[in-house]
Structure 1
Amino acid sequence: MKANILIVIVLSALVALGIWQWEWDMSWIESWIGLHPVLGAGIYIVLVAASVVLLPFSSLPLLPFATQYFGTVVAALLSAAGWWVGCLIAFQIARLGRRHLERFTSLEAIDRLEGKVPADIGFGGIVVLRMILPVDVVSFALGLLKQLRFRTYAVASIIGILPFSFVLSYAGGKLGDRQFLPFALAVVGMVVVIVVIRRLWMRHR
């Protein structure tokens, strides 16, 4: 229930920012990215990765901008790369020790999630978690599971991240183009899929 409320709040913020940005003159950013596409992509990846590690910041409000300037496919790949790099960094921070987590996130949130994650979670479980829960807190919690191999975590994470990076990029692009119906359909479809996958996973557990 809390996860569903969080999704609604984040997506509402995304809509608000998308509406707000229509009043901005963003031509200078478009021109700059046109002259420095590689640097612009690199900066975007860094910002997305930082949003995973430095809670409670979120990179979702950046998606309408990224989709507008890079296109849906490229923005999705850049977002996935940023989230993936961020989740790998968060995982390694957690591996360094619980005392380091206090600098980045709430230990209470970590403790709550850690109690819900099976100690013997495997490849498929990580993929599912990536689809139904926020990237940031999950990354820290999984890093505390000592028996979880980094390679397994890394590969499963990118597989779980990729599908929704494309959906979110598509939704952000439609919002930026003021195409509300495709945006709403993409968001509703994503939420339905998340809820179904979450219930199936909880039932399987």
Structure 2
Amino acid sequence: MQTIQKYRREIMAGLVIGALFLLAAYGADRLEPVLLNTFGVGGLLGMVAYVFISIVATVLLPVSMMPLIPLAVELWGFALTAVLSIVGWTLGSLFAFLIARHFGQPLFAKLVDLPRAARIARAALGKNQFAAIVVLHVILPVDILSYALGLFTDVRISTYAGATLVGITPFAFYFAYAATKPAWFQILALGLTGILVIGALIRIEREALQEG
């Protein structure tokens, strides 16, 4: 019960995003004519817009573009949608990383839980920073991790960029593929992801407290 209370905001946010994801997946096929008329069949403009929204959603912490994934899959298929998501999330995470590093704590003191982010960042450090960041990108939100590492670590931008690309790739294909499946599969996928994320947060914080 204490764990649920501690991560209440994350759980509620996950439920809302998951509900929007399912709603978008349910309506994507019904909205296909409108989407095709708006973006065109495989239209470059629509792809650029999707990547741009992905970047903005990654930089702006309260925003999520997850509900757009089923709509994108309806337009371009799950493979291309995954690639576009990878491009957008990678660029967005780099922007967030650089913003955090160059503008520092005062700018984000009201947007980010700094002590908690610091614990996550310290837990990511080790002898093999690249591998640690890859794993964290698989199980933690890309925006929070980007700001945390930019604020509290000396990880090089090249290391972070490479680890980000590797870490978010399976995540992008996972959700793009899930958007093509029935509702029960999507609910199961979202539920398993939520359990994984909460479990990872608990473990990371415990390790950080033991070290600190």
The answer as to whether partners of 1:132 and 1:197 remain within 8 angstroms in 2 is yes
Q: Out of 183, 186, 189, which is 2:189 matched to?
A: 186
Which residue in 1 is equivalent to 2:23? 16
Alignment of 1:95 with 2:101, yes or no, is: yes
Does the residue aligned with 2:63 lie in a helix, a strand or coil? coil
Q: CA deviation at 1:183?
A: 2.2
Q: CA deviation at 1:171?
A: 1.6
- What TM-score results when the alignment is normalised by the length of structure 1? 0.81
Q: CA deviation at 1:17?
A: 3.8
- Distance change (3 Å), C-alpha of 1:100 and 1:73: farther
Which residue in 1 is equivalent to 2:119? 115
1:163-198 alpha-carbon deviations (Å, 9 max, x no partner):
111111112232xxxx22332343344445546666
Q: CA deviation at 1:199?
A: 6.5
Which residue in 2 is equivalent to 1:74? 80
**What amino acid maps onto 1:171 in structure 2?**
A
In structure 2, list runs of 5 or more residues that go unmatched. Answer: none
Q: CA deviation at 1:28?
A: 3.2
- What TM-score results when the alignment is normalised by the length of structure 2? 0.78
- Distance change (3 Å), C-alpha of 1:132 and 1:12: same
- Distance change (3 Å), C-alpha of 1:39 and 1:23: closer
Q: Out of 132, 141, 158, which is 2:165 matched to?
A: 158
- Distance change (3 Å), C-alpha of 1:55 and 1:187: closer
Q: CA deviation at 1:128?
A: 1.8
Identity %: 31
Alignment of 1:85 with 2:88, yes or no, is: no
The answer as to whether partners of 1:109 and 1:137 remain within 8 angstroms in 2 is no
Partner Cα distance (2:94, 2:15) in 1:
26
1:133-173 alpha-carbon deviations (Å, 9 max, x no partner):
11112111111234211111111111111111111111223
- Distance change (3 Å), C-alpha of 1:204 and 1:95: closer
Q: CA deviation at 1:10?
A: 2.0
Partner Cα distance (1:34, 1:92) in 2:
34
